[in-house]
Structure 1
Amino acid sequence: MSEHDRNIPQAILWTVPRGMSTVFERSIWALGDIKVYHEIYAKAAYFGEERYFPHFMDKEVQPGCKYSDAKEILQGPAVGYRGVFMKEHAYRVAAAGRYDAIPEGFVHSFLIRQPIKSIISFYKTYIDAYGSDSSLLLSELSFRGMLDLFKYIRDAKGQTPVIIDADDLLADPAGIMRKYCEAVGFEFRESMLHWESGTLEAWSWEEIWYRTVSTSKGFLKPSELGSSQSDDNLSDFPEKVQESVRDSQVCYEEMY
């Protein structure tokens, strides 16, 4: 029996930056018996010899970080676990055209969020982290890669992916996580809704992106997330941000 034929549920959550995916991942971590992988295509996309995105091109190439290496890890041993889960940004596979690196045997799911909320939040955090948007590509901002990947999974893989909306998740975490577990084959437990605050090792390399989830002890209510990005004036942002929000809204509505 090959690893991707192992008789335990396996799920991937594809999403976009600032889509509420890390708190979703934290909920899965709280189960304790699911092997969780955090964005393992990132090294291939930014640091490996096949890297596609320019932001870290000044860094040395890291060995063992090909797209095929990420696929191999996902299909690797999961001894002692009752399931396997990974969350990843869809653009890292879709924009690079690396559909060949998608592992077999996984249930695919997508977490979507209103583009005005996720893209503005991503852009602001990106500027805080790096000081400039000179190497930020439209494909990193846009939902287009996520929609393309969704269509690939549906049409080429013959699977109807699970779709979750972030606003629905925050409005009813227990109900949405219960339905998600039923859809992918995990066992829902109340422990998924509460956890100890702190930074997981998987989040340590760029902590600015994980400040909110690291201090959380459960799903935050919408009112606890601070001011809404939908209150921002889109015209105050660069054209590539405005273009991304407009195009992503079309993608979001199609997936929703």
Structure 2
Amino acid sequence: MSPTPQPLRIAMWSGPRNISTAMMRAWENRGDCAVSDEPLYAAYLAATGLNHPGREAVIAAGETDAAKVAAALSSGPAPDGQPIWYQKHMTHHLLPGQATDWVHGLHNVLLIRDPAEVVESYLKSRATVTPEDIGLLQQATLFDAIVERQGQAPVVIDAEDFLRAPGAWLQALCAHLGIGWTERMLNWPSGPRSSDGVWAPYWYDAVWASTGFEPWRPRQPRLQGEALAVADACRPAYDKLRAARMRLP
């Protein structure tokens, strides 16, 4: 018996309040792609004790052993036997000291967004924010680890660039991954999906109402005090990653 073909494993590493869930919708709508929504979230909450919305439900619904999750993501079969497996990750779910060797067997993409915009959006749903909450510092650490291990940088996509031309960016990303692109990635049915995490009612209102990527529009966040300090603390990491971002031909 011939071995089961391995799926193409795509790990999209984002921070919160980005276009990561819309991106998950795009990949799921291909028809040949399974998606996993923040598979490390339960382990992250269990390890940190943080009180996120729906904490107990998230932990109950997920696997709290990060090593087991990593093994499944890196070497297990894709859900429903699909040939492509898109894994939506929040980079801050990778805790300090946690083994990350498994990451190097994936096709890693970093999805970044200006930290001032992230902080402004984050504070609409949470009362406080820290630099560690928005993922950019962890994205920079992951970027460095991939460069050191693989000898080349992972793909970095800035959400601002992407929203100006989603079709062109998805075509470029699919070409980089060696797979075909389909216009089905640009539109999807509105509403919840069975693939959504149990935390979706707290965070996914806009995505549930969407049928495609929102048009780009200029934003001018007005932060002050601790919120501004958090954005400023993450700015060097963002600038570093943005300098290495993917560019369209």
Alpha-carbon distance in 2 for matches of 1:125, 1:199: 19
Which of 182, 199, 203 pairs up with 1:205? 199
Provide, for residues 150-197 of structure 1, a one-character-per-residue CA deviation record: whole Å limited to 9, x for no partner: 111111343420111101111000000111111223321000001110
Quote the Cα distance in structure 2 between the aligned partners of 1:109 and 1:65: 24
1:89-133: CA deviation from partner (whole Å, max 9, x where unpaired): 11110x433233634521111001111111210122223xxxxx3
Q: Secondary structure at the match of 1:196?
A: coil
Say which SS state the counterpart of residue 110 (structure 1) adopts: strand
Map of 2:32 onto structure 1? 33
User: For residues 13 and 38 of structure 1, do their structure 2 counterparts lie closer, same or farther at Cα, with a shift above 3 Å needed?
Assistant: same
Return 5+ residue gaps in structure 2 as ranges. 243-249
Q: What TM-score comes out, normalization by structure 1 length?
A: 0.82
| Equivalent of 1:245 in 223, 231, 234 | 231
Structure 1 CA distance for aligned equivalents of residues 67 and 135 of structure 2: 25
1:135-150 to 2 correspondence within 5 Å? 137-141=130-134, 143-150=136-143
Q: Which amino acid aligns with 2:177?
A: V
Residue deviations 1:32-87 (CA, integer Å, cap 9, x gap): 2112111000011003xxx125225x859758421112112212112631211101
Task: State which of 50, 55, 77 in structure 1 corresponds to 2:51.
Answer: 55
> 1:52 and 1:157, CA in 2 relative to 1: closer, same or farther beyond 3 A?
farther
Q: What is the alpha-carbon root mean square deviation over aligned residues?
A: 2.6
Identify the residue that residue 111 of structure 1 maps to in structure 2.
111
Instruction: Name the amino acid aligned to 1:17.
Output: P
Cα distance in 1 for partners of 2:208, 2:130 equals 27
Taking the aligned partners of 2:51 and 2:131, their CA distance within structure 1 comes to: 13
Q: Measure the CA separation in 2 of the matches of 1:141 and 1:200.
A: 25
Contact kept in structure 1, 2:117 and 2:221, CA below 8 Å: no
Matched, 1:69 2:68: yes
Letter in 2 for 1:52: T
Map of 2:246 onto structure 1:
none
Deviating beyond 6 angstroms after TM superposition, the runs of 4 or more aligned structure 1 residues are none
- Corresponding residue for 1:216? 210
Structure 1 alignment gaps of length 5 or more: 128-132
Matched, 1:152 2:145: yes
1:222 match: secondary structure: coil
Cα distance 1:8–1:166, how it changes in 2: closer, same or farther (>3 A)?
same
**In the alignment, what sits opposite 1:24?**
23
Query: How many angstroms apart in 2 are the aligned matches of 1:23 and 1:83?
Result: 17
C-alpha contact 2:131 2:231 (8 A) present in aligned 1: no
Aligned CA distance change for structure 1 residues 99 and 137 (closer, same or farther; 3 Å): farther
Q: d(CA) in 2 for partners of 1:64 and 1:141? A: 22
**Counterpart of 2:160?**
167
What's 1:45 paired with?
44
Q: Distance in 2 between matches of 1:120 and 1:102?
A: 33
| Structure 2 CA distance for aligned equivalents of residues 163 and 156 of structure 1 | 17
Match of 1:96 in 2: 96
